[in-house]
Every structure is written in structure tokens, then in C-alpha cells.
Structure 1
Amino acid sequence: MGAPCAYVSLHRRRDASHDDVLLLIEDVTEISDVDVQNLRQRDFLERLLDSMQEIVLTVDRTGHISWASRRCAGLRSKNLFAASRPTATFTDTWDAAYLSGSSPAAPVEAVLELGDGSMGLFELVFSELDAREHEGSALLVVGRDLTSIRRLEEKVKQQAMYDGLTGLFNHSQFHMILEREMERSRRTGRQLGLIFFDLDRFKAINDTYGHQAGDTVLRRVAAGISAVVRKGMDFPCRYGGDEFAVVVTEVTPEIMEGLARRIREGVVTSCKGAVDLSMGLAMLTPPDTGESLVQRADRASYAAKKLDGVKVRWAD
């Protein structure tokens, strides 16, 4: 237990017969201990809030920020609505009217300026503060940092859609794109084609120089394809191994054959002649399914291997 603490006061008293002093000593040891405990508890809570990944604010019904945790201390005395911008998923009005209801507002995903020049993506969750603990009507705002979560989600999305080595659409995404574009072609009447090819002499590169050299070739193949396809209209995919496919939309046979030749030239140039392509071309026909269209283009690619010169073969 700490040293005793006392409140001492002197009061002088005078009357006709007396002139004396009243000494009043009041023991405030217990009160002092409570104050110390409160201060310690406050310091602990402030350190706890400062160590959180989340940001913590208190705001009034106009959005004025009266208190902010250390990570966003620069927001103090600013307005929440001026310092933040909701994401596209938010369709309400972002102003003081959003906090005017009697119950806490719904969580909002927003980009927040942290007051030090940096910005972050947060989910803002609102809770009513007890009027006894805060002057006037106020809200506690806890912001959960979504930046790393969204980055991880984007990485998972990329892995789900794209081939990790070449950056082209992967096998599963190829089938989704093909089915989607086949449906669109039949709905709009615009023609759809498929270019399917594999690499000539690729096995020799792997056998002679190793798989690392083979991976370099595959990346160069992808670069050669990407350089010539029409953005948003043609969808290049790594089908598997050294097999590639390009879903070609809004196309005629003449345009698709020209595109196939440019792809071959781009790949041969990118790979410095180390590989060549055996290419099969197929246009979507009324009886086709996704599987039958791929089979026809694949068979044409296999037949193209027997050709001399530019190895491009149309499906029967």
C-alpha cells in the first residue's frame, strides 16, 4: 500500500473571547488510489488502442471527429465525410444524413485519408456511445483495415484465372470463356473462332537445355501471342504443357487466318526461331459444343504438323 495522503485546511475563528485556528485533516488516500488506478487504466486502454491494426474514432452526428487513435491521429477535428470516400458498392448518400438515425449506421467500406498523407481501405463499423460517457450524441467508429485482405483476394483471383508461368488465362478459365463467348455468338449472330496450337521442337529444348530453358520459351511464346491479339476481343490461354488456344470473337475466316499468321510470326520472333507452331483453326458451327469445337481445332493442329512452311490448317 502507498504512503498516506491527506487534504489539510486551516480555518481561523474569532469571537469576543477566542481567537483560534481550526485545523482540518481529511484522509484522501483511498480516493488518490482510485485516481491512480483510473489513470493507469486510461493509459493501458490508449496503448491497447494504439497497438490495434484497426483505427478507432469518435464522431458526432455531423461526422466531426473528436478523438482518433494514434494511427489516424491526424484526423482529429476533421470531418469523417470529407476525409473518406465509399467504394462503388455503397449506394447511399455519404454525408451527415447517414448518421442522423436513432440506431447506428450500417458498416461502410471506404477509402480513408489517415491525416499523414497516406490512405487505406477500411470497413467502418458504427456503434452508439453512452451519452453519460460522452458529451452529446456521439458514435464510436472502428475501421477494419481491408488493404491486405483485398490484396490477398486479388492474388487468389489471379491464381484462379491465370496461368502462373505465362500470365495467360489458364485451362479452367479457357473453358469458361469459351462457353460464355459461344453463348454470346449464338445470341448476337457474330461469328466465333478458335485457334489451337502446340510448339514444334519444344521437347528438344527441354531435353537438351532443361525445364528452366523450356519455361523461358513458354513465357516468350505468351509475350508473342499477347503482342498481336486484339484486346478485349481475343482471349489467349495456356491450354496445358506446350498447347495454347485463342478464343477469337467477332471474326470472319479471313480475319482469323490473318491473326493466326501474325501469332505465329510474333511467337517465332519472340523465341528467336527456337520453336515453330502447328496451328489448327475452327469456326463455331450450329452443332458444336465447347468440347467438339476444341476437338476439331486440335485435330487440325495435329494435321498441320505434317505441312511444310507455314503450318496452319483449317478444321474439316
Structure 2
Amino acid sequence: MTLVLAMLLDAALGEPRWLWDRVPHPAVLMGRAVGWCDQAFNRGGARRARGALVMAGLGGTALGLGWLLSLLGPVVEIVVVAFLLAQRSLVDHVQAVARDLRISPGEGRRAVARIVGRDTGAMQGPDVARAAIESAAENLSDGVIAPAFWFLVGGVPGLMLYKITNTADSMIGHRTERHEQFGWAAARFDDLLNLIPARLTAVLILAVHGMWGGWREVAAEAPRHRSPNAGWPEAAMARVLGVALSGPRAYHGVRTEFPFVNAAGRREIGATEIDAACGVLWRVWGAALGGVAAGWLLFG
């Protein structure tokens, strides 16, 4: 019941600015902790071992804090879980890209730069739309399905462990000179924790659109993605929308020719397809909510 109420609260309120303008969001606090560890320990030799110890420390702290929060009662649990889900904020950010893209490609580029890490300066309209839809698919898994899954598995401690790991991966889990060794443990642990949720997200995307027959194609295309997990929800999203995702993009001025997912899909896409992706987000959220509610009614 806690998760049902938390999902509804998150969908209703999202990230209220009146609150987060006054106090830091829990994800911001997690980011500060990871950033401090990066500055303090990412130096000298044995950086992979240092990074592993840091990840163990962050994970242990998250588990302990989650346990303490779980002792404060169901109301606190509901609020904490709602704060750490991202359905409403994800939809709001993705819809903002569609809205601004309708104004001009330049406005679309500025909007999508807020939610993706790739270079956006040279993007045309279809590139903006593709980036927004990819972000929608990946963050549906990372920001909604995976947190809900790990809460069901491990309560608030499990959710906190997932969120600190995902935050660490987003900040230090990069194959750069500075972070390739130090962030190795964070990246690998994040891969492990997202292994089931990413595939579950793909199943849900296909299921709510009655496209069970597309699973074979999704399973074949997902491993072509640069990420071992993000390819699953992206391949499923590409299939249900009939668009091509992934593909070439630039990071830090370097363009890489990644293969397309669902390469036969439409590539001249825009705000309409972004809107359709937001519809997918809500349908999957509804299916997940219904599944959790049904499980609670059946098994208590």
C-alpha cells in the first residue's frame, strides 16, 4: 500500500518548487555526497580499489539511513518513496522539450540540454526529438520502475541503495580519464541493479501496447546499444512508436556513430512523437500502479 500511495503522490505533485527551493532534494544531497567523495578520494594510485571502497561506504550509509527512515512509520515511508520516484518530473521535462521544439529547433535544443548529457548545439529537430524520447525511455526505467522494484524487494533501504548507486553512476561512472578507474565499481553495481528493472520496463512498454510479438526483436536489438541496460526500454519504446532511436551523437565534441535501434523506424520525427512517448510513460506507470495494487490486494 505504501508504494501505491507514493506513486499517486509523486504523480500528483512531482517536484514542487515551493519545497525544493527551500530545502535540498534528497537526490541533490546524494549528489553532494558523491561529489565530496570524488574530490576527497579520486587521487593517487589504486583508484579502482578506492572507488570500490567509496561505493561500499555510500551503499552502507544509504542502507543504514533507509533503515532509520523505515522506523519512523508509514507516513514517512510514503513521503520518502514519493520523493525518490520521478514519474511526474520525467513527463514534465520531456513534455517541455516538445513544447519548446514547436517554437523552434533552438528552443528545443535548450530544453533537451537539461535532460541529456550529449552535445546539443548542432542538433536539428529530429535529433532533439530522438534525444528526448531516448531520455524518456531510459529514465522510465531508472527513475520509476527500478526504484519501485527495489522498494518492493528491500523496502526503503533497498530504494536508498538503488538511488545512491544510480546517482554515483551518473556522476562518476564514465569512461573518462578521471573516472574510468574510480567510477568502475559504481558503474558495474548500477548495471547489476538495473539488470531486471530495465528488462521489466521493456516488457511493460510492449505489454500495454499489446505488442508481445515484438519481444524477439527487442531482445535482438537491445544488446547493440552502448549500455547493457538502457537498450531494453529504448528498443521497446522505438518499437511501439515506430521510430529509430539511439544512433549517432556527439559527446564533448567527438561524434560517435552508434548503431540505430529499430533502424527501419521513422527518423524524421518531432514534437508529435515526443508527445506519444509521454503517453507511453503514463500507460506504463498506470500498468505498474495496477500491478502493485493488485499484488497488495492479493497478498497484503
Higher relative contact order (CA closer than 8 Å, sequence separation 6+): 2
Q: Larger Cα Rg: Structure 1 or Structure 2? A: 1
TM range (shorter): under 0.3
Task: Report the TM-score when normalising by structure 1.
Answer: 0.21
Choose between structure 1 and 2: higher helix proportion. 2
Task: Report the TM-score when normalising by structure 2.
Answer: 0.21
Choose between structure 1 and 2: higher strand proportion. 1
